[in-house]
């Protein structure tokens, strides 16, 4: 296997398949397991960069597709790269745009060379090849670049899944050839193959032969259900190098993260905590809380007494309920900060539990607390 050299990754402790590690990039160290807030267009919605950092986040995710359309990768590069452009001095991982392009049903055409598509903004035609996807991410200044892949749809038959996976593997090799190695920067391959374990094994082997700085598991959390997702993760992880980080793309809910960490995954991203924060749904150790519900209107308690985020430290449930009822922007800001804080607290708790050899106890307590649900006001 030809290994990448741009990123540093060490595993400090294990508990079964679960690991605690450190991923070192040009813009800082990321403790793993790690959750990456999603800043699709160069901003984590409703949050300033310093507020994102205050939640405990060490790395964020941005997206090639959206930034290539607006304001354009070349413009971002001319303005000092994405770090300076958005005032985030920590590590950035950029998705290649493959998932977004593949979701443009009726607006894109896939060929061996790459994909052509029409912008969802103004209908203009664009092209994205493995080489161009890597080039855009280098213009953005990403610490972690993702290969261009085809996100295999679900449900799909095995032959279609194999054809899609094999195209992604050819694109992965071209992405590797196009990538410019440099200290502190790395390229991740993406395992595809749908819900077919044999295809996932073939994909992992092909990527290991090419050699990457990290390995993502893509094409999951697309409708297959949690049990199927966990089955594929458990089948895929043993085929990936132990000395490289493993990233489960687009996942997910808190129990998805806990279950995937137990199966050996190190990195996650999902829009759920920020999107939910804008719609009045909070994540807590006792499950989700809908702050639009009228039962919170007279509740003077904090959302979560164990949380030190601004929403929980300084405001009541009644006030948060009021903000969402009258559609004030502050509600989205406070609840987004809370949800991101909860996700960072969750991954920090997982790191501590793994480091102390107590992951199963952590999982048992997590599941019991989630099952109890929120405590209504008396």
How far apart are the C-alpha atoms of 44 and 336, rounded to whole Å? 9
Q: Which of 256, 266, 269, 374 is catalytic?
A: 269
At 44, phi and psi to the nearest 5? -80, 115
Active-site residue identified among 15, 95, 143, 213: 95
| Length in residues, the chain | 378
Those residues whose C-beta lies under 8 Å from the C-beta of residue 157, and which sit 6 or more positions away, are none
Q: Is 194 helix (H, G, I), strand (E, B) or coil?
A: coil
Work out whether strand 267-269 and strand 246-248 pair parallel, antiparallel, or are unpaired. parallel
d(CA 342, CA 282): 9
Distance CA 165, CA 122 (A): 31
Q: Is 269 a catalytic residue?
A: yes
The answer to whether residue 361 is catalytic is: no
3-state secondary structure of 277: helix
Find the helix packing angle between 254-262 and 226-236, rounded to 10°: 30
Active site residues per annotation: 95, 269
């Amino acid at each position: 296997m030809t290994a990448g050299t741009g990123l540093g990754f060490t595993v400090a402790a294990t508990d079964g398949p679960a690991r605690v590690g450190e991923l070192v990039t040009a813009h800082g160290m990321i403790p793993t397991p790690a959750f990456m807030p999603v800043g699709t267009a160069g901003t984590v919605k409703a949050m300033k960069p310093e507020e994102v950092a205050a939640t405990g986040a060490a790395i964020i995710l941005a997206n090639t597709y959206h930034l290539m359309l607006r304001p354009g990768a070349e413009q971002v590069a001319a303005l000092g790269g994405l770090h300076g452009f958005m005032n985030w001095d920590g590590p950035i991982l950029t998705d290649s745009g493959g998932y977004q392009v593949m979701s443009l049903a009726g607006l894109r055409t896939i060929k061996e060379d790459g994909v052509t598509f029409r912008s969802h903004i103004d209908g203009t035609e664009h092209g994205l090849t493995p080489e161009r996807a890597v080039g855009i991410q280098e213009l953005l200044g990403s610490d972690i670049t993702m290969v261009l892949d085809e996100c295999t749809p679900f449900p799909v038959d095995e032959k279609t899944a194999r054809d899609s996976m094999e195209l992604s593997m050819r694109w992965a090799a071209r992405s590797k050839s196009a990538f410019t190695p440099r200290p502190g920067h790395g390229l991740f391959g993406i395992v595809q193959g749908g819900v077919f374990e044999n295809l996932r094994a073939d994909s992992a082997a092909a990527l290991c032969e090419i050699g990457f700085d990290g390995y993502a598991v893509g094409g999951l959390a697309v409708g297959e259900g949690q049990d199927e997702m966990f089955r594929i993760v458990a089948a895929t992880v043993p085929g990936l190098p132990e000395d490289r980080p493993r990233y489960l793309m687009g996942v997910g809910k808190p129990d998805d993260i806990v279950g995937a960490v137990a199966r050996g995954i190190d990195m996650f991203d999902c829009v759920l905590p920020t999107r939910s924060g804008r719609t009045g749904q909070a994540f807590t150790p006792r499950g989700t809380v809908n702050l639009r519900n009228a039962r919170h209107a007279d509740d003077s308690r904090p959302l979560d007494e164990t949380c030190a985020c601004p929403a929980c430290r300084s405001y009541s449930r009644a006030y948060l309920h009021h903000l969402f009822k009258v559609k004030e922007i502050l509600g989205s800001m406070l609840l987004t900060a809370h949800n991101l804080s909860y996700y960072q607290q969750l991954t920090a708790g997982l790191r501590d539990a793994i480091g102390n050899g107590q992951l199963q106890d952590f999982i048992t307590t997590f599941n019991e607390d989630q099952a109890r649900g929120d405590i209504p006001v008396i």
